[in-house]
A and B are shown apart, each in its own frame.
Chain A
Amino acid sequence: MPENLQTKVPKIGAFVLETLTTGMYTNPLDTLREYVQNSFDAIREAERGGILSNGAGRIEIIVDEKARNLTLRDNGTGIPSDSVHSRLVNIGMSSKSIETAAGFRGIGRLAGIAYCKRLVFRTQVNEEPDISSVVFDCENLRHAMSPRMKQVKELADVITSHATLSVEKIRKKNHFFEVKMETINDAGQEFLEWRKINTYLCQVAPVGLDTQSFHHAGTVHQWVKKHNLCVPVVSIIISSGSTNYQVFKPYRKLTYTTIQEKHKIHVKGIRFFPENVGPESPFWGWYAETNCPGTFGDGTVAGFRLRKANIGIGMADRMTEIFADASESYARLNKYFMGEIHIQNPNVIPNARRDGFEDSPEWTIIRKELVEFARQRSREAHQLSQARNLDIERLVGATEREWKSAEKRRKTGLASKDEKAKILAKIDRQLGKLDAARRADRNEDEINKIVKVRKRLEKTRAAIQNETNFAAQNLNSALDKKQRRIITEIIGILYDVLDEPSFEKARDAILAKYQVPDKEAKL
């Protein structure tokens, strides 16, 4: 007889907590993303509930380097005292909806346990005169959940014995949520370096574009508005010592340099994709139109970035993979671009580590489209790069040689229709190179040179295009192939050594002797 499982509640060991905290994230600062995300949700809830006016949401991150503390505080709804236990002590039981909230699993807030001595949550809601606090004794928690512990304890017991909940009465009405990491350990050193926090958050947090500095921010905003899209943002301010710094997305320049600082990248405008986007579209994006000379030297802007609810997913890595799917050699090209792709489809869900998306049919479809998009961008970058790699003098020189040889063929007479087609194709290739070179960054002087040689080549092309007189074809049929070739060769030599009138005289003399009289012409 099978045992009745309902009478035996399965136990969960404390090791699981280790997986959810230390083992969960690759970068310690991912912890901050989890907290920012929770605050962001609370602020949006406050906005929806009318507690905060739109845009008044604020997250403050205070770094105290000397005391080794980090405090993150938001002015969102806060948590009512009767649900503090269930929401701050329980694990993985978040009541948040996938549809409206950015964070929803209910494990992110534990991430800080790995990096400090004490983790303190404090919160208040508008309706209550209480501040509730939950304190995690992280040092002992870490000890208890360490895999080195011989005796496995039950997770629930471990948490109960290392977390305390208290309530403090105060008079002031307020709403906030605060998390404080106290006495941060060496593994969490980055939490004390505000510049690193900024570098991280500017790429990941749901902050706004820097409209004051980024010339094209207005274009993006207008486009978003025109298409009824929603990009939720929150203000994040980092304070540390004398520093007060608001975090913005890192896009702010019109000129960047490539990673080896060899070339300048010029942002000429903004492009959007796909066409006909609306609030229901699975995704949309923008990217900078540039001369694409190479990898962006500024690592915070390089590459397409995926965002869900305006929170960065996996930095540039996910799109680099998608470029690689288009073609192995395209992988590096992602960082030739700067842009964002906002995933809107509610069924595309970030994975628990938030460095990618869960597999789902919706994501598979979007991904396919993005691979195609990456392929197009890569080709574009290739074309521009090839054009640019051509040295202008060499290009002009090659064009001149091409033009001379075409002129010679024209004057000495084309051998056949085939040869004509061949020559035209060659000229066309050269014209294409010229056009690409012109599109790539060139100064005026260089553009003038290109235009000049191009005009000449084009004129010759038109002349050849109209040529119907095929010299070799009309040679006397008594001559064999070799003889015919020798004759055309001799005409070529004469073209090289004689001045033009003498050449024409000589050519006509030769042709008169060896060519079949052109009957039609004579008629």
Chain B
Amino acid sequence: MKNILLVEPDYRSKFPPLGLLKIATYHKGRNDSVTFIRGRNEAFRSLHWHRIYVSSLFTWELPRTVKTIRYYQDSVNSYDDIFVGGIGATLLPNYIRQHVNCKIIEGQIEKRGILGRNSPPIAHLVPDYDILKTVDYPYEPDDSYFARITKGCVRNCKFCAVPKLEPEFGLLAPLSKQITTIKKKYGEKQNLVILDNNILAVDNIEGHIAEIARLGFAKGTKRNNRMRTVDFNQGIDARLVAKRTPLAQALGTIAIRPVRLAFDFVSLSMERAYRKAINLLAEQGFRSFTNYMLYNYKDSPQDFYHRLKINAELNKSLEIRISAFPMRYIPPSDIRRGYVSPQWHWRWLRGIQCVLQATRGLISPNPDFVEAAFGKDFREFLEILSMPDRYIIYREHYKNDGASDWRRLFRRLSETSRKEFLDLLARLNKDRRRIQTIAGLKRFRSLVEHYYPNGEVPGQHF
């Protein structure tokens, strides 16, 4: 019997750390006492633990993950008693290894002996949802079954970490079995969240969809007077939907909400497939879509704007609502979030972030919003992205007070000067002696004043 501490570093995470929850199931089965916490906490550090597990997620959160590991290092007898696993640890194990002494688990625990001599594999265990109840953090979505039918992905997109995390595409335990076990242990849940990377690529997908319907998630099914929903959380592959018309019909039998489709890069064939998929799904009566939109990869701002326009067009013609989730690309090996692709400027990425701040990352399907937020044409789009943060965020407030002056100055710049100016802004952003640098500027002084009044970062309150 042991005392086990599970730690999720206190980065922002939406889903519960399923790996830790499976480890909880494993240890509880051995009669161990399991405690789950987030972040660094003196009360728990001061105690002795037989083993501590720390999860990891985004690579740019690895510095914080390492800090968390270090924090708990003296709460175990030996460095071998701290285990670190998860996505970040799998993508960049060496980063952790260089910074801290601990045991690193790469990939899922699918083999024996990883958690100790002869320990069983645990990847297939049902996560222990009970431990979530006790931690004061709003994981989403609650009251849902989490399940996966497949692992890996059939595609090999260069921007994606899945090929490295789960190199092989394959089937996991039957869905009905997973749901039954969760139901038995933790009670019935309202909704179903399918976490597969590319569910539609599985053989006999219609069979799996029929099973989902049988499990109580056919379109229109209610429980406790509330509609039940299925969420293919990682999105469905538009190209596969477009390829076979019957697939959309099959999807139409279950209560998917929202329908998530990725629109990660623009090519003629991709655009065609995307439009067709949306059309087919709209025909099935789906109205609510979300759209993962990768940018800052090999795309350009034109591509970004173009995709916004396509969505707006589809919304109008099909009377549907596609909300876009722009996803900024960060190379899977970066431990910082600062990557800027050659076709983008730091200022523009920042501009998008400012636009999205008010809507928590989502681009509303409302045509008025899109035009107000991103401009009525591409020229205006770039102009908005180039504005100082507060002029974007508090647009109404600054409309006549500053923004018009800024616009006059900015429009005077030639194409090349604009580029030089945007580069200057990127440099200033990282400049530790910004005030001195600005004081020494010969060009762009009055424009820079809008971004850094008196050389300082303006407070965003009024």
A→B interface (CB under 8 Å): 195, 198, 210, 212-213, 235, 237, 241-246, 252-253
B2 contact from A212, A241, A243, A252, Cβ within 8 A? A212
CA distance A210 to B48 in the complex (A): 10
Q: Are B134 and A242 in contact (CB under 8 A)?
A: yes
Contact with A along B85-107 (1 / 0, CB 8 A): 00000000000000000000000
Most interface-central of A235, A241, A244, A252 (chain B CB within 10 A): A244
A200 CB, nearest partner CB in chain B, Å:
14
Asked if A252 and B77 sit within 8 Å, CB to CB, the answer is: yes
B302 interface residue per 8 A CB criterion? no
Given contacts A195-B43, A252-B77, contact A243 B35 (CB under 8 A): yes
Neighbour of A246 across the interface among B1, B131, B134, CB < 8 A? B1
**In contact, A253 and B77 (Cβ under 8 angstroms):** yes
B131 (CB) vs chain A CBs: closest residue: A242
Q: For the complex, what is the distance from the CA of A245 to the CA of B3, rounded to whole Å?
A: 6
Q: Are A244 and B50 in contact (CB under 8 A)?
A: no
- The residue from B33, B43, B47, B77 contacting A237, defined by CB atoms under 8 A apart: B33
B259 within 8 A of A: no
CB nearest to A213 among chain B residues: B77
Q: Establish whether residues A212 and B131, one from each chain, have CB atoms under 8 Å apart when the complex forms.
A: no
Tell me how far the C-beta of A67 lies from the nearest C-beta in chain B, rounded to whole angstroms: 15
Expressed in whole angstroms, the Cα–Cα distance for A245 and B48 within the complex equals: 10
Within 8 A of A (CB), among B6-60: 32-37, 43-44, 46-48, 50
Contacts of B48 in A (CB 8 A): 210, 213, 252
Q: In the complex the two chains form, is A242's CB within 8 Å of B50's CB?
A: no
Partner of B34, one of A241, A244, A252: A244
- Interface pair A212/B50, CB less than 8 Å apart: yes
9 contacts between A and B (CB under 8 A): A195-B43, A195-B46, A198-B47, A237-B33, A243-B35, A243-B44, A244-B3, A244-B33, A246-B32
Across the A-B interface, give the 5 residue pairs with the lowest CB-CB distance, nearest first. Answer: A242-B134, A244-B33, A246-B33, A243-B35, A212-B50
Find chain A residues with CB under 8 A from B36 CB: 242
Q: How far does the Cβ of A413 sit from chain B's closest Cβ, in whole Å?
A: 62
Which residues from chain A contact B135 at a C-beta distance below 8 Å? Answer: 242
Nearest residue (CB) in A for B76 is A213
CB neighbours (8 Å) of A252 from chain B are 48, 77
Q: How many A-B residue pairs have CB under 8 A?
A: 39
Contact at A245–B77, with CB atoms within 8 Å? no
Interface string of B320-338 (1 = CB under 8 A from A): 0000000000000000000
Chain B positions within 8 Å of A242 at CB level: 35-37, 131, 134-135
Contact, CB under 8 Å: A246 / B43: no
Compute how far the CA of A213 lies from the CA of B3 in the bound complex, rounded to whole angstroms. Answer: 11
In angstroms, how far is the closest chain B Cβ from the Cβ of A75? 14
Provide the bound-state CA to CA distance between A213 and B46, in Å. 16
Apart from A244-B34, A245-B33, 4 more pairs, CB < 8 Å: A210-B50, A213-B77, A242-B135, A246-B2
B34 CB → nearest A CB, Å? 6
Given A242-B35, A243-B35, A253-B77, does the pair A235, B43 have CB atoms closer than 8 Å? no
Count of B residues near A, CB < 8 Å? 19
| A195–B47 CB distance below 8 A | yes
Contact B46 A241 (CB under 8 A): no
Min CB distance A471 to B, Å, is 64
Q: How far is the CA of A241 from the CA of B43 in the complex (A)?
A: 13
Q: Are B47 and A244 in contact, with the CB atoms below 8 A?
A: no
Interface bits B51-89 vs A (CB < 8 Å: 1, else 0): 000000000000000000000000001000000000000
How near does chain A come to B171, taking the closest CB pair, in angstroms?
Answer: 34
A195 proximity list for chain B (CB < 8 A): 43, 46-47
How close is B132's CB to chain A, nearest CB, in angstroms?
Answer: 9
Q: Which of A210, A213, A235, A244 contacts B35 (CB 8 A)?
A: A244
In the complex the two chains form, is A213's CB within 8 Å of B50's CB?
yes
Q: Which residues of A contact B1 (CB under 8 A)?
A: 235, 246
With the chains together, A245 CA to B2 CA distance in Å? 9
The interface residues of chain A lying within 8 Å CB-to-CB of B34 are 244
Nearest neighbor of B78 in chain A, beta-carbon distance: A213
**Across-interface contacts of B43 in A (CB, < 8 A):** 195
* Closest partner residue, chain A, to B6 (CB atom): A242
**Which residues does chain B contribute within 8 Å of A245, judged by CB atoms?**
3, 33, 35, 47
Bitwise, B101-144 to A at CB < 8 A (1) or not (0) is 00000000000000000000000000000010011000000000
* C-alpha gap A213/B35 in the complex (Å): 18
Closest-by-CB residue of B relative to A214 is B77
CB distance from B1 to the nearest CB of A (A): 6
CA distance A457 to B198 in the complex (A): 82
A246 lies within 8 A of B3 (CB): yes
Residue of B nearest to A252 (CB): B48
User: In chain B, what residue has the closest Cβ to A198?
Assistant: B47
Residue of B nearest to A212 (CB): B50
Shortest B16–chain A CB gap in Å is: 13
Chain B residues positioned under 8 Å from A210 (CB to CB): 48, 50
Instruction: Report whether A241 and B33 are in contact in the complex, using a CB–CB cutoff of 8 Å.
Output: no
Complex contacts, B3 vs chain A, CB 8 Å: 244-246
Q: How far is the CB of A73 from chain B (nearest CB, A)?
A: 15
A252 to B48, CA, bound (A): 9
Minimal Cβ-Cβ distance residue in A for B4: A244
Q: Across the two chains, which residue of chain B brings its CB closest to A242? A: B134
| Across-interface contacts of B50 in A (CB, < 8 A) | 210, 212-213
Residue of B nearest to A240 (CB): B134
| Shortest CB distance B250–A (Å) | 42
Nearest chain B CB to A395 CB, angstrom units: 34
Minimum CB–CB distance for A239 against chain B, Å: 8
Report how far A213 CA is from B34 CA in the complex, Å: 17
Q: How far is the CB of A238 from chain B (nearest CB, A)?
A: 8
CA distance A242 to B2 in the complex (A): 16
Instruction: Give complex CA distance A243, B34 in Å.
Output: 7
A198 to B35, CA, bound (A): 15
Quick one: which of A212, A242, A245 has the most chain B CB within 10 A? A242
Measured CA separation A253–B74 after assembly (Å): 11
CB distance from B423 to the nearest CB of A (A): 49
Q: Which residue of B lies closest to A208 (CB)?
A: B1
CA distance A195 to B41 in the complex (A): 13
B128 to chain A, nearest CB (A): 11
- Which chain A residue shows the least CB distance to B36? A242
